Structures are given as structure tokens and as C-alpha cells.
Amino acid sequence: MTGRITAAFILCATLGAAAASAQAPAPTLTLSLDDAITRAIAASHLIEETRARGDAAAAVTGQRHSSLQPQVTGQAGYTRTNHVDEFGIQTPNNRFQPIYPDIPNNYRTRLDVQWPVYTSGKLNSLEAAARLDQAAATHDIDTTTIDVRLAVTHAFWSVIVATESQRVLDETLAQTAEHVRDVRNRYETGFLPPNDVLTAEAQEARERVLSIQARAARDIAEADLARRIGVEPGTHIVPVAPLAPASVDATLESLIIEAQQHRPERQALDQRIAAAEQRQRAAQAGRRPTIAVGGGVDYARPNAKIFPRTGIWQDSWDASVNVNWPLLDGGKTASETAEAAAGVRALRARLAELDSVIALDIRQRLSELEASRAALDAAEIGLRAATEARRVVGERFAAGVAESIDVVDAQVAILQAQLDRVQAIASGHLAEAQLNRALGR
């Protein structure tokens, strides 16, 4: 009995918690476009990935620089050898003097120093190439940031348009439902045939489907924006933006020059071309000599550098200058140089292609801005016309010479004109954002 009571309490508590969670309203976030961009940049995984690649490029620069510095290495080892017959001589005082004793346990330690003092510019060129790659990685971060800004701008205005579409269709559905009630009342009083009721109900059903589709589209757009700005799923986002038309006052030629000077991916390509040229110089240096100095201190038992060998710890040192000149390498240096030169040509071709794409992109965005301004002008005229038509139909309906469906259609025309205006403004701002992306802003 007690167990059943406990289970009942648990079930009630669970149902109560579920009901409370179901009734809890979703959090609401009101933000402007600048707020959305700031949040998106802070939450972007793509930017974090690009920063990590930049850190990797900086680490490579450190590696290249370290190859020019003295390298100090500590070494230690132990070797066990087989027993051998000792070799020695008999001294005049009748004592045996071992020259090669039997020492099976061999210990050695060494502090070794190597320093490439002259490499014909090879290591210096590789370090310079790494630094240029690091600078290019910094421009990659700027490029990714601009891409994120464009993506969140698109998502932001998509939510605004979807919200406006949902509002228009919901109001249209409400007015259609009112019209259906009016038709039913007139049918019941004998003023209309049954087919008019079915026609009105079919129209209401279509409007309901469109309203549900608009709500789903708004939810998808909101979820996409929420993902990009890093907020919890299910957060209700209310984007706030002035519905003012976008405008750009600049010539095509000046915009192309600005893009070539400030677009980060073009700057990154410039840096990578310079890095490839440095690698080509490094490959060419493979034909020239290199000079390195070295030295070290040995402390071993026995010390192989001291004769005769004795089973005691002894120290010694050495210093050297080494010259390496590859006189014949089977064409390796020539192949490496050709590979580096081909890489330079490929990057230059990519830069030329990017310049042509930039010019086309800017021209296209300017055309889209012009088209959005024309669409906005048409939407403004359509809104004024729909408003005037609604006034005239209202007066006719009041005079008894117009049907209620005429009033509904006139009101729907106003809502559609308002939606067309919002869509035209959003298209203009999206074209402006894409133009800023093309300019590297």
C-alpha cells in the first residue's frame, strides 16, 4: 500500500513538472543587426578554426626561425660489449701495461652544439616564407569574419521577411474566416446558394495551409539565426531594424579599386605569392654550399678519444667547421625549383581570376541594388493604390453596393503591398551586405 502511494506521488510530481515545463514560455531575445553580428562573430566555430590555423602558421614560423639558431643537445648512453683479451706491453720494470683493456661496460655522455652559420640563404628564405604564410593566415581570419557577417545579415533579414509574411497570412486568414462566417449567415437566411459556402471554406483552408507554411518558414529562419549567434534552441528572436531603403553612392571603378586594396582574400593571395617566391629562392639555394660549425664536450668511461683506453671517467672536447656543397644531386634541386616556380604561377593565375570575379561581383551587386530600389518604388505605389482601393470599397460596402468579399480582398491587397515593401527593403539591404562583402568590408 505504501509503495502504491509513493508511486502515485512520484507520478503526480512528474506530471506536474512536465506541465510546468510545457507552460513555461520560451525566452525572448530582441536584438539589432549589429548585436546579431557581434554575437555571431563571438560564437562562430569557423572563425575559431581559422584562428587555430593562424596559430599553426605562427608555430611554423617559430620552427623555421629555430633552424637558424645554435642547437644544443645532451646525449647519454650505455653499451655492453663482449669480453676480449687484453692487449698491452711489458715495461722495463717487468710490469704489464694494458693498451686495449677488457672493459665490457661502456658509458658515455656528450654535450653537442651545432650551428648553421651560412646556408646560401636557404633557411632565411624558408623563414621569410613562413612569416608571409602567417600574415596570410591573419587575412584568412578577416575573410572568415566577413563571411560570417554576411551570413548572419542574410539570416537576420530572412527572419524579418518571414515574420512579416506570417503576419500578413495570419491576418488574411482571420479576415477570410470572418468572411466565411458572413457567407454562412447569408446562406442560412437564404440569400446565397450552398456552393458559395463551399468556395469560401476552400479559400479559408488554402489560407490556413499558407499560414502554417509561413509559420514553419519563420521557425526555420529563426532557428538558423539562433544557431549563428550562439543562443539556445527555441529562443524567440525579435529582430529590430529600421525599414529604410539601402543606398550606395560610388562609381563602379572606385569600388573595384577599393576592393582590390582592401579585400582580405586578395591580400592573403599577395602574401602567399610572396611566400611561394621565397620557397623558390630556398629551392635554388640547394645548388650552393652551406657552412656549419659544431663542437661538444664528452665525458665517458672509457673515453674513446683518449689513448690508451682506461676504465675511468675522462673528459674531452672537439670543435669543427663543416662545408657541404652538393655537386651532383641527380636533378633534385632542379625539380624542387621547378615545383616552386609552378606554385608561383598557379597563385598568380588565381589572383588574376579573383580580380575578374571581384569586378563581376561588384557590378552584379550594384545591379541588384538598383533593382531593389525600383522594386521598392513599385511597392510604395502599390501600397498607396491598395490603400485607396480599400477606402473606395469600404464606402461602397457601407452603401450596400459591394460584397464583404470585396472588402476582404481589398484588405488582403494592402497586406500584400506591405509585404512587398518589406521584401524590397530586405532585398536592398542584402544586396548592400553582399556589396560590402565584395569590397572586403
Query: Domains along the chain?
Result: 33-69+121-287+332-439 (1.20.1600.10), 71-118+290-324 (2.20.200)
Of residues 26 and 116, the one with the higher pLDDT is 116
Mean pLDDT of all residues in 324-340: 89
Which residues, at least 6 apart from 153, have a Cβ–Cβ distance to it below 8 Å?
A: 33, 36, 37, 429, 430, 433
Confidence band for 26, pLDDT divided at 50, 70 and 90: low
Model confidence at 8, in pLDDT bands (50, 70, 90)? very low
Say whether pLDDT at 315 is over 90: yes
Whole-model pTM: value is: 0.77
Tell me: the pLDDT tens digits for 123-139? 999 999 999 999 999 99
Q: How would you write 252-264 as a 3-class SS string?
A: HHHHHHHHHHHCH
What does the pLDDT average to over 81-110? 85
Mean pLDDT on 27-55: 91
189 contact partners, CB below 8 Å, separation of at least 6: none
Residue with cell 506530471: 15
Q: Kindly report, residue by residue over 225-281, the tens digit of the pLDDT.
A: 999 998 888 888 888 887 766 666 677 788 888 888 888 989 999 999 999 999 999
Residue-wise pLDDT tens digits, 349-406:
999 999 888 888 888 888 888 888 888 888 888 888 888 888 887 787 677 677 767 7
Residue entry with cell 664536450: 297
Task: Please state, for a pLDDT cut of 70, what percent of the chain lies above it.
Answer: 91
Report the percentage of the chain scoring pLDDT > 90: 36
Strands 87-90 and 96-100: antiparallel
Question: Pick from 26, 41, 16: which is nearest to 229 by CA?
Answer: 41
Residue 375, pLDDT score: 85
Alpha-carbon torsion 237, 240, 244, 246, what sign? negative
pLDDT over threshold 90, residue 111: yes
> Residue 248 corresponds to which cell in the numbers above?
550606395
Alpha-carbon distance of 408 to 392, in angstroms, equals 13
Chain centre to alpha carbon of residue 138: 13
